[in-house]
A and B are shown apart, each in its own frame.
Chain A
Amino acid sequence: MSISSRMDRLRRRAELLKRLRQFFDERGFVEVETPLMDAEIIPELHIEPFGVCAIDPASAGQSAGSQSEPCRAPALWLQASPELHMKRLLAEGFGAIYQITRSFRRGHRGRLHNPEFTIVEWSRAGDGMAEGVELLDALCRWAAAAPAATLTSYGEAFAQYAGIDPHHADYAQLAEAARRLGVRAPEGLSAASRDEWLNLLLASVVEPQLGASGPEIIYHYPATQSALAATTVDAKGNEVAERFELYWHGIELANGYHELTDAAALRRRFVEVNRQRAADGRPALPLPETLLTAMESPGLPRSAGCALGFDRLAMLVLGADAIEDAMTFVEGD
């Protein structure tokens, strides 16, 4: 990339940031700032956070080797998303908030990933999934001059591009679909992990087709993939998550939830995440007790929240092929 086009891209990136702020400001959202580093994080099954270790100045000088020792019990974590603190603010009584900040996820490096990235996160009290989807669509049209998004359920997307019913297909049907579609199964993918097979098909054959002719919002994920979203029963009787994702040109841009407000249910999900992490040989992560306590009292209001990968949106708006062309510096620069 030549210097002039790099400067031009960074200027356009800055304009996109301004447009996003304008979108939220005009709708009465308050821009907030929350910690990048905290003793608590949201435990996720497939997101590895960076632990932060303080180097004790008394021992740091003793041997150069001690500094490279892995940090076994980090006192603080770099946030993989600001949602934990955003939910705490909602519980305090904020009605509509947003922020544009940095988030950190270990081991993510590729055409669409950098371990440190810019995230746009917003939450609004009173919203359910329909309002959350509507707001995301409005933002995409405003910021990226996109046409109105089409709405497709997770079940419809799998029926169309993988020829299966993701809510009922068993292991044999999932493996057969992968074979039929020429999808190479990863080494050692077990028959037991239905969600991993769905993830494989999603990444390999469904995602690349999504949002080909304009933004597309996928909703009603299987309840087993609800993360922090409330669950419901769809028209066909499937238990589904009120979780929605925005795709454009085959690229995942945003993930939103009609938030689960039941603290006890959320705690059970976190415990289950840690059980599965331990089964995979990965460390359990501390539970966000402060958030869980706030959800018990005063309680999290009915709300929807959403996170958008800003670098990816900038990449699409700039017509770039990789996020590094839309970012100022990436890891290794």
Chain B
Amino acid sequence: MAIYSTNEFRKGLKVQIEGVPYLMVEMNFRKPGKGNALYECKLRTLLRGTVVDKTYRAGQTLESADVAEFTAQFLYKQGDQFVFMKNDDYEQYEMSAEAVGDAGRFLKENMDCQVMVFNNQPIAVTPPNHVVLKVEYCEPGARGNTATNVTKPCKLETGAEILAPAFVNIGDWLRVDTRTGEYIERAKEPSA
């Protein structure tokens, strides 16, 4: 495991503090000419995404975090576990629903996702920014109402509930932004 000393601190560094992996999202170097250097860091946990501020003095160190990200296919959900398969070596990774978090509501079998591992344990999954999912249930569509500003809740095949325009019907395919959970447009049924 590598040790980073303060003069190696920079934006983008992955470090760990008390077993928690962090991404250094900001690093501000301050130094009065004759005084000790201060390294003001913003660190985002790679587990929950919360940001903490920490200041270090010249000569202090942080441990590197063995973090990797790769493309993996979501295979299936078994009980509380999501199962993924890494695309290049077919290795399988299991992840709890808690670790998958909000991303889980957009995951559909065979979808290519970005999986992040820390010490080879999956800690986060990111679905594609845009996915096409089938509407499983919504109130019947108001025929002729093409306005997109009148919305209603729609339940998608993966379990996600989103707001979609009133003209949407059960069985429609919708393109959704997974980062915001927002409806983008109606789409064609994706070819398998």
Secondary structure type dominating chain B contacts: mixed
Q: Is the interface of A mostly helix, strand, loop or mixed?
A: loop
**Residues B32 and A110 in contact, CB atoms below 8 Å apart:** no
- Besides A186-B55, A196-B57, 14 more A-B contacts (Cβ < 8 Å) are A46-B58, A48-B58, A107-B37, A110-B29, A111-B28, A111-B29, A184-B54, A187-B54, A195-B35, A204-B30, A225-B34, A252-B33, A255-B33, A281-B59
Q: List 27 A-B contacts (CB under 8 A).
A: A46-B36, A46-B37, A48-B7, A107-B7, A107-B58, A108-B29, A108-B31, A110-B29, A110-B30, A111-B28, A111-B29, A113-B31, A184-B53, A185-B55, A186-B55, A186-B57, A186-B60, A187-B55, A187-B56, A195-B35, A199-B36, A199-B38, A202-B32, A203-B32, A203-B38, A207-B32, A282-B59
CA A44 – CA B36 in complex, angstroms? 11
Contact A106 B7 (CB under 8 A): yes
Question: What residues of A have a CB within 8 angstroms of the CB of B60 in the complex?
Answer: 186-188
Contact B38 A200 (CB under 8 A): yes
A48-B37 Cα distance, complex, nearest whole Å:
11
B6 within 8 Å of A (CB atoms): yes
> A90: CB under 8 A from chain B?
no
Interface size on A, residues (CB 8 A): 33
Cβ of A333 under 8 Å from chain B: no
Contact residue among A189, A199, A281 (Cβ-Cβ distance under 8 Å from B32): A199
Task: Tell whether A44 pairs with B34 under 8 Å between CB atoms, given A108-B29, A184-B53, A188-B60.
Answer: yes
Give the residue name and chain of the B residue nearest to A198 (CB): B35
Determine how close the nearest CB of chain B comes to the CB of A208; give it in whole angstroms.
10
Q: How near does chain A come to B7, taking the closest CB pair, in angstroms?
A: 3
CA distance A130 to B152 in the complex (A): 76
Q: How many A-B residue pairs have CB under 8 A?
A: 76
| In the bound complex, CA of A110 to CA of B31 (Å) | 10
A46 to B55 CA separation, bound complex (whole angstroms): 17
Residues of A within 8 A of B55 (CB): 184-187
A203 contacts across to B, CB distance below 8 A = 30-32, 35, 38
List the 3 closest A-B pairs by CB distance, nearest first.
A110-B29, A107-B7, A199-B35
Query: Is A280 an interface position by the 8 A CB rule?
Result: yes
B3 → chain A closest CB, angstroms: 13
